[in-house]
Amino acid sequence: MLKKKAIISQKSNKTAERKTGKAVKKIRRAKKNIATVTGMRDILPQDQKYWEKVRQVAKQISIDYGYDRIDTPVLELTELFVRGVGAQTDIVEKEMFSFTDQGGDNLVLRPEFTAAAVRAYIQHGMLNQIQPVKFFYLGPLFRHEKPQSGRYRQFFQFGFEAIGEENPALDAQLILMGWNSLNDLGIESVIQVNSIGCMSCREEYKKVLVKYYKAKAKLLCESCKTRLTKNPLRLLDCKESGCQELKDDAPQILDYLDDNCKEHFMKVVGYLDELDLPYVLNPYIVRGLDYYNRTIFEYWAIDDVEGKNALGGGGRYDGLVTMLGGREDTPACGLAMGLDRIVAKMREKNIEVPDKRVDVFVAQLGDAAKKKAMLMYENLRPNGSFTIAQAFHKDSLKKQLELANKMKVKFTLIIGQKEVGEGTIMLRDMQGGVQEVIDFNKIEKELKKRLEKYREGAVIDLTADEEEKESSTEIPEEDVADLGDLGDDLAAV
């Protein structure tokens, strides 16, 4: 009996242990560091200067060519992309982050901008404005793709859309704008141009294309076998080697364009020639979205000969406004550039982007000086001509000056107990190491004057100007002593 009891208690001990073990594991799991969602990433402070540079260039291009910024919501109704991008496309079929919200609406994180821009054009009655309506946008997009180099589930695009005009000059100008944005960033690229004609010439072409590929269906990759019935144009841009070989002998769309489409395309190409842009006619680019017609294009970095990581692309989409319920026959054209890939290319090519410039550092020693420095900082901040930094959370002057050095500021303003009493401030030229005591009320003027000389490239000899010397002399020995360890710190910098 006793033995039986002992066995039972051993068993229950083990169960208890197992339960505790599970609970510990659960807690450990709960405590595990939480990382980003697969395919999404942080853009850290040290990388921001590249992103900012791309945003700046994009904004400048939008100003240069008269495109106005539009921001559309990150969430849209699923219907918008099913109708706009096309139910049979990879984006809609496989890649949308979609969910039903509490109210029962089917929503998606936007996978692209164009359909949203057209929705906004229709929703806000922009048809009544001067045409084309020209949009510029910039922001994150979401596609549930297989993550790999240059392919993320959250990525960023900037782009331009011109809605309400069919003139081929617009196609050419958009192509130019995308190329210019890369060129302004120092990235060499080659434009790949094609025309996929209008609905009627494309239907004709699809028939001969399917006929060609059907005869070779056994040699196609699995995805292309499906494309054969669902989206035959995509057969042409498959990157599988077997399919690549087949496309060499495939019929080419340019031979099937009707007269109007041919004429439109010839005009676009004529403008590209006139603008002396580096482009190639590439009959194999088709783009993955249903709404395109006529001119389509992509930007490939000069060393990306197979176009594995296109930096951007776009084209004409004359039917999209109608497909989304807008007025019939509203032509449109646009392009989108991928920021992630552009930034990666800039880094790969060691394209320099200067660090954020800080001109002046405000350092302080002692409680009264800290208060005065904080106030002075607020007065100097909106000066409009130079940038300033501080570290008011630090008490040690040495540490503040080390920081100023690290920031490579041109000047440091130092305020201690003595300066507070006298209404002065010490101005240190960080390059020459020369210090002067100047009147507190003249700080802004003095800094502007000195920084201007720096920017002109002049070497400043602060002791050369006799008049300046009167109001601003080098800090005397006894003042250094009054500043306590300030003197030592300055000597150490």
Q: Which residues bind ligand AMP (CB under 6 A)?
A: 112, 143, 145, 150-152, 155, 157, 288, 310-313, 336, 338, 340-341
Give the chain as a 3 state SS string.
CHHHHHHHHHHHHHHHHHHHHHHHHHHHHHHCCCCCCCCCCCCCHHHHHHHHHHHHHHHHHHHHCCCEECCCCCEEEHHHHHHHCCCCCHHHHHCCCEEECCCCCEEEECCCCHHHHHHHHHHCCHHHCCCCEEEEEEEEEECCCCCECCECCEEEEEEEEEECCCCHHHHHHHHHHHHHHHHHCCCCEEEEEEECCCHHHHHHHHHHHHHHHHCCHHHCCHHHHHHHHHCHHHHHHCCCHHHHHHHCCCCCHHHHCCHHHHHHHHHHHHHHHHCCCCEEECCCCCCCCCCCEEEEEEEEECCCCCCCCCCEEEEECCCHHHHCCCCCCCCEEEEEEEHHHHHHHHHHCCCCCCCCCCCEEEEECCHHHHHHHHHHHHHHHHHCCCCEEECCCCCCHHHHHHHHHHCCCCEEEEECHHHHHHCEEEEEECCCCCEEEEEHHHHHHHHHHHHHHHHCCCCCCCCCCHHHHHHCECCCHHHHHHCCCHHHHHHHC
Q: Which residue, 232 or 312, has its beta carbon nearer to ligand AMP? A: 312
Q: Which residue, 312 or 326, has its beta carbon nearer to ligand AMP? A: 312
CB-nearest residue to ligand AMP = 338
- For residue 209, the minimal CB distance to ligand AMP (Å) is 21
Q: Which residue, 237 or 479, has its beta carbon nearer to ligand AMP? A: 237
- For residue 435, the minimal CB distance to ligand AMP (Å) is 51
113 marked ligand binding residue: yes
292 marked ligand binding residue: yes
Q: Which residue, 89 or 390, has its beta carbon nearer to ligand AMP? A: 89
78 marked ligand binding residue: no
Q: Which residue, 150 or 484, has its beta carbon nearer to ligand AMP? A: 150
Say if residues 332 and 314 touch (Cβ distance below 8 Å). no
291 marked ligand binding residue: yes
38 marked ligand binding residue: no
Give how far the C-alpha of residue 437 lies from the chain's centroid of Cα atoms, to the nearest Å: 45
112 marked ligand binding residue: yes
450 marked ligand binding residue: no
Nearest Cα residue to 189 out of 310, 281, 274, 308: 310
- For residue 163, the minimal CB distance to ligand AMP (Å) is 17
402 marked ligand binding residue: no
Asked if the peptide bond before residue 132 counts as cis, ω within 30 degrees of 0, the response is yes
- For residue 181, the minimal CB distance to ligand AMP (Å) is 12
Q: Which residue, 176 or 311, has its beta carbon nearer to ligand AMP? A: 311
- For residue 310, the minimal CB distance to ligand AMP (Å) is 4
Q: Which residue, 297 or 411, has its beta carbon nearer to ligand AMP? A: 297
- For residue 113, the minimal CB distance to ligand AMP (Å) is 8
- For residue 167, the minimal CB distance to ligand AMP (Å) is 23
Q: Phi and psi at residue 465, in whole multiples of 5°? A: -90, 110
Q: Which residue, 149 or 350, has its beta carbon nearer to ligand AMP? A: 149
Q: Which residue, 30 or 44, has its beta carbon nearer to ligand AMP? A: 44
102 marked ligand binding residue: no
Q: First and final CA of the chain: distance in angstroms?
A: 85
Give residue 184's region: left, alpha or beta (phi > 0; psi -120 to 50).
alpha
Q: Which residue, 155 or 213, has its beta carbon nearer to ligand AMP? A: 155
- For residue 165, the minimal CB distance to ligand AMP (Å) is 21
- For residue 192, the minimal CB distance to ligand AMP (Å) is 11
User: What is the rounded CA–CA span in Å between residue 63 and residue 181?
Assistant: 12
- For residue 114, the minimal CB distance to ligand AMP (Å) is 8
Residues that constitute the known binding site for L-histidine: 112-114, 143, 157, 161, 287, 291-292
Residues that constitute the known binding site: 112-114, 143, 157, 161, 287, 291-292
